[in-house]
Amino acid sequence: MSERIIIRGGRVIDPARRLDEIADVLLDSGHIVEVVRGGAADGAREIDARGLVVAPGFVDLHTHLRDPGLEYKEDIASGTRAAARGGFTTVCAMPNTQPAMDNRATVEYVLRTAAAEAIVRVLPIGAVSKDRAGEALAELGDLAAAGCVGFSDDGAPVDDATLMRRALEYASAFGLPVIDHCEEPSLSHGAVMHEGWVATRLGLRGAPAAAESSMVERDVALAAATGAHVHIAHVSTRAAVDAVRRAKARGVHVTAEATPHHLTLTDETVAFGALGGDALLYDTDAKVNPPLRPQDDVDACVDGLADGTIDCVATDHAPHALIEKLCEFDEAAFGMSGLETAFGLCMRLVHAGRLDLATLVERMTLGPVRALGLDRVVPGIATLAAGAPADIVLLDPERAWVVDPERFASKGKNTPLAGVTLRGAVVATVAGGRMVFESEAELV
Ligand code: DOR
């Protein structure tokens, strides 16, 4: 049930209106009523937000909910509960389900299940190709009509350049982007991490940075040729950031995202774990695709996020079962469970002085919305303007907490951050006017 709530005395950051001031936020019947100083309570439930940041709920463009078909890893109920704990009030669901979201019926199943079981908004992303096999285009028109907000074969690249060209042409006819997993398979074949000294030391096969950047260059060229919109998923290398920057300067319709892990962790995490030390861990929880990169690439991604070359943070939340990670490194699944650590991890950039807090909030709210044009689908999303959906997050930028995957709402406990202290916590999440998460520490 949505209720009447007044959130008092927080630092209200609303990037859409360039608002950053101490104020009260009043919500009623699932919508924002007003942001004012000294608002009247009028029988509303009062929440004391003094010392906290109050912002629009985070929006994740890149969530693997695994439903249908892979519910042992995650389902719509558990995945959206993880989202709420992470401060997200909207998640875009990737189509690498079983069956793939390459047809209207599967998209309708996801939307129906979300209506019954999700506690935050779920927006589906349709596949580019049938069964994500990279051979024949999916029925993009049907997927658009069913409510998809973009198309992606995420997890796999669209290897065939002509298929990508056609996908861009059709997608632009529906006003939607192609969300591009950039990986040149002939360069990354058999790779399980980044190619560099760490891979050599571990005796593991690596993928070079060029496996990513060469496909970014190709698809930027195809976006330029077609006038279509390409959104580059999980940018992880300096060369890819440079390619996006140059393309934007030329006026190509390209947007990009980076994950919290590619913005903060290096390939050394694979060897030594996130807590560091001398022992070689071969940490399968740090095995992701694209792989964690060296510090120079991380720095370039952070600079790109700060200057707007990278439009937003997106989690690539990729939950897996224990058995898929408790095995030899070569055999382990790619991906980490990311929704519940995203804000705390990104706060490292703020505490290190690389990004200011208001910019981080922008990159997790308005940034993703603008990148995919989600405000056309959900009017008022990611703003605290009167009449907007009451999607709100309360944040404590200073609160330190220790990551314990056993406490995740996600079924995916696969994080290399277990035992790591993060400074920056989600205190509460309101979705559609309903309190969907309150942290254990007292709120009033
Ligand atoms: O690490 C990853 N995991 N990268 C991807 O592109 C796919 C994802 C998954 O679905 O597990």
Residue 362 resides in a domain: yes
Same-domain check for residues 23 and 71: no
Ligand 1 centroid – CA 336 distance (Å): 8
- Helices marked H in 9-103 — which ranges? 76-85
Structure confidence at residue 41 (pLDDT): 75
Nearest alpha carbon, ligand 1 atom 5? 155
Amino acid letter, residue 211: A
Q: How many CA atoms lie within 13 A of 105 on its CB side?
A: 2
**Closest C-alpha among 315, 312, 397 to residue 351:** 397
Q: For residue 333, give the ligand 1 atom closest to its CA.
A: 11
Ligand 1 centroid – CA 96 distance (Å): 9
Residue 381 resides in a domain: no
Ligand 1 centroid – CA 202 distance (Å): 22
Same-domain check for residues 267 and 307: yes
Task: Among 61, 62, 64, name the best residue to mutate to test ligand 1's pocket (greatest count of ligand atoms within 8 A of Cβ).
Answer: 64
Give residue for tokens 């943070």.
313
Structure confidence at residue 440 (pLDDT): 76
Structure confidence at residue 442 (pLDDT): 47
Q: For residue 336, give the ligand 1 atom closest to its CA.
A: 1
Ligand 1 centroid – CA 386 distance (Å): 38
Backbone angles phi, psi at 10, to 5 degrees: -85, 165
Structure confidence at residue 444 (pLDDT): 39
Structure confidence at residue 430 (pLDDT): 98
Nearest alpha carbon, ligand 1 atom 7? 155
Question: Considering 60, 153, 297, 316, which one is annotated as catalytic?
Answer: 316
Nearest alpha carbon, ligand 1 atom 4? 289
Distance (Å, rounded) from C-alpha 74 to C-alpha 239? 33
Task: Among 153, 316, 324, name the best residue to mutate to test ligand 1's pocket (greatest count of ligand atoms within 8 A of Cβ).
Answer: 316
Ligand 1 centroid – CA 326 distance (Å): 17
376, 400, 424 — which closes off a domain? 376
Residue 443 resides in a domain: no
Same-domain check for residues 149 and 94: yes
Same-domain check for residues 22 and 104: no
Give me the sign of the Cα torsion angle 2, 441, 338, 357. Answer: positive
* Mean pLDDT in order along the chain per 10 residues (444 residues): 88 98 97 90 90 98 98 98 98 98 98 98 98 98 98 97 98 98 98 98 98 98 98 98 98 99 98 96 98 98 99 99 98 98 98 98 98 97 98 98 98 98 98 94 48
Same-domain check for residues 42 and 121: no
Nearest alpha carbon, ligand 1 atom 6? 155
Distance (Å, rounded) from C-alpha 2 to C-alpha 371? 29
Structure confidence at residue 443 (pLDDT): 46
Task: Among 235, 259, 262, 288, name the best residue to mutate to test ligand 1's pocket (greatest count of ligand atoms within 8 A of Cβ).
Answer: 288
Distance of CA 298 to the CA centre of its chain: 17
Q: What is the CATH number of the domain that holds 398?
A: 2.30.40.10
Residue 361 resides in a domain: yes
CB 59 within 8 A of CB 364: yes
394: part of which helix (H) or strand (E)? strand 392-402
Task: Among 94, 325, 334, 415, name the best residue to mutate to test ligand 1's pocket (greatest count of ligand atoms within 8 A of Cβ).
Answer: 334
Task: Classify 402 as helix, strand or coil.
Answer: strand
Same-domain check for residues 135 and 185: yes
Going by their DSSP bridges, the two strands 5-14 and 19-28 should be labelled as antiparallel
Q: Tokens representing 341?
A: 């650590």
Same-domain check for residues 64 and 129: yes
Q: For residue 234, give the ligand 1 atom closest to its CA.
A: 6
Structure confidence at residue 2 (pLDDT): 64
Q: Tokens representing 393?
A: 């997050």
Ligand 1 centroid – CA 59 distance (Å): 19
Q: How many domains does one find in the chain?
A: 2
Q: Tokens representing 145?
A: 């009509």
Ligand 1 centroid – CA 10 distance (Å): 36
Residue 383 resides in a domain: no
Residue 382 resides in a domain: no
Provide CB contacts within 8 A for 210, sequence distance 6+: 184, 187, 239
Amino acid letter, residue 85: R
Same-domain check for residues 70 and 47: no
Give residue for tokens 């510090």.
295
Q: For residue 94, give the ligand 1 atom closest to its CA.
A: 10
323, 344, 376 — which closes off a domain? 376
Q: For residue 156, give the ligand 1 atom closest to its CA.
A: 6
Residue 159 designated active-site: no
Structure confidence at residue 441 (pLDDT): 62
Backbone angles phi, psi at 132, to 5 degrees: 55, 30
CB 87 within 8 A of CB 429: yes
Residue 444 resides in a domain: no
Distance (Å, rounded) from C-alpha 202 to C-alpha 271? 7
Task: Classify 396 as helix, strand or coil.
Answer: strand
Same-domain check for residues 290 and 403: no
Measuring from each residue's beta carbon to the nearest atom of ligand 1, which residues come in under 6 Å?
64, 96, 154-155, 181, 288-289, 316, 318, 334-335
23: part of which helix (H) or strand (E)? strand 19-28
According to DSSP, the residues that pair with 34 across neighbouring strands are 26
The DSSP code for 61 is E
Ligand 1 centroid – CA 11 distance (Å): 35
Q: Which domain holds residue 336?
A: 56-376
The DSSP code for 78 is H
Q: What is the CATH number of the domain that holds 308?
A: 3.20.20.140
Q: Tokens representing 197?
A: 């000294």
Structure confidence at residue 40 (pLDDT): 77
Task: Classify 440 as helix, strand or coil.
Answer: coil
Same-domain check for residues 229 and 270: yes
Same-domain check for residues 308 and 350: yes
Provide CB contacts within 8 A for 305, sequence distance 6+: 258, 263, 313, 349, 355, 363
Same-domain check for residues 109 and 49: no
Distance (Å, rounded) from C-alpha 412 to C-alpha 15? 32
Residue 434 resides in a domain: yes
Provide CB contacts within 8 A for 275, sequence distance 6+: 419, 420
**Closest C-alpha among 175, 111, 177 to residue 150:** 177
